[in-house]
């Protein structure tokens, strides 16, 4: 029973397209995140939502728009995809309490051609 | 959150203990030491965390020096499946999880 699940696992698309990545967690956690891991393997936080409210928004192009319909879901929509958006995107969740160990999804590998 | 320093890579023989060091000399009193690992092509996985006492769970042990300026993650009997990048992260409870470059641990047969 997957705790944090992302779909799709792989996504290949052309420049200029719009795409979405979905994330769902069944852990009952209050906080969800999107991280980006580029070709140099650096993991960087992009967004964080707590109970459907945006609490972290790093310096990310506004072509990236997270949406949280409820606290168990955090989707990432990307408009006008560029070559530099190619990366692995990880969703994560945490209880948002004193000990907040993060649970990560298995990642979505996005390739823009 | 305090900055950490880890060696870029380490090797370990299968079945032996893997000791991964981490320096965090600027750690403050309310910051925890967390360890995560990322096996190739998978999402990061929580291993263990501690404040000042040594900690042990089914995956690993965490030894934190008395002055808290450094720590060591110990995998007591490393297996090939422990080959991964290991991240030492220092953070206050509730603050964001920020990853550095980590240590690539390679367990050799």
- The answer to whether the CB atoms of B93 and A107 lie below 8 A apart is no
pLDDT in tens, A59-91: 788 999 999 999 899 999 999 999 999 999 999
Nearest CB among B93, B97, B101 relative to A102 is that of B97
Q: Which of the two residues, B74 and A53, has the higher pLDDT score?
A: B74
Tell which residue, B7, B3, B15, has the closest CA to residue B108: B15
Q: Is omega for the bond preceding A8 within 30 degrees of 0, making it cis?
A: yes
Contacts of A90 in chain B (CB under 8 A): 43-44
Give residue-wise pLDDT tens across range B65-102. 999 999 999 999 999 999 999 999 998 877 788 899 99
CB atoms within 10 A of CB A51: 12
Is the CB of B93 less than 8 angstroms away from the CB of A101? Answer: no
Cα A5 to Cα A2: distance, rounded to the nearest angstrom: 6
Given A45, A99, A105, which is nearest B93 (Cβ)?
A: A99
**Phi-psi category of residue B15: left, alpha or beta, with phi > 0 → left and psi -120 to 50 → alpha:** left
Interface-testing mutation among B32, B37, B41, B44, with chain A (most A C-beta atoms within 10 A): B44
What is the pLDDT at residue B92?
84
Partners of A97 on chain B (C-beta within 8 Å) are 94
What share of chain A has pLDDT > 70, as a percent? 96
Where residue A97 falls among pLDDT bands split at 50, 70, 90?
low
**Mean pLDDT computed over B19-35:** 94
Give pLDDT, residue B85.
97
CB contacts < 8 A (A, B): 46
How confident is the model at residue A41, as a pLDDT? 83
Q: How far does the CA of residue A59 sit from the closest CA of chain B (Å)? A: 15
Q: Taking residues A17-46, what's their average pLDDT?
A: 92
pLDDT, tens digit (0-9, with 9 covering 90-100), for B30-58: 899 999 999 998 999 999 999 998 999 99
């Amino acid at each position: 029973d997957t705790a944090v699940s992302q779909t799709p696992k792989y996504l290949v698309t052309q420049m200029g397209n719009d795409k979405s990545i979905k994330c769902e967690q069944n852990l009952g956690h209050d906080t969800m995140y999107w991280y980006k891991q580029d070709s140099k393997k650096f993991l960087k936080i992009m967004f964080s939502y707590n109970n459907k409210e945006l609490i972290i928004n790093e310096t990310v192009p506004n072509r990236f728009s997270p949406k949280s319909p409820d606290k168990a879901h955090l989707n990432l929509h990307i408009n006008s995809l560029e070559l530099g958006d190619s990366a692995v995107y990880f969703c994560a969740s945490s209880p948002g309490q004193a000990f907040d160990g993060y649970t990560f999804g298995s990642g979505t590998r996005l390739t823009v051609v | 959150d305090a900055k950490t320093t880890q060696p870029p890579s380490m090797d370990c023989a299968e079945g032996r203990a893997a000791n991964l060091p981490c320096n965090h000399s600027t750690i403050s009193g309310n910051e925890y030491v967390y360890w995560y690992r990322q096996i190739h092509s998978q999402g990061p996985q929580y291993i263990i965390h501690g404040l000042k006492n040594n900690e042990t769970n089914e995956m690993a042990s965490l030894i934190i020096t008395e002055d808290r300026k450094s720590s060591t993650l110990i995998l007591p009997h490393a297996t090939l499946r422990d080959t991964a990048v290991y991240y030492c992260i220092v953070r206050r409870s509730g603050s964001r999880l920020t990853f550095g470059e980590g240590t690539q641990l390679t367990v050799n047969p």
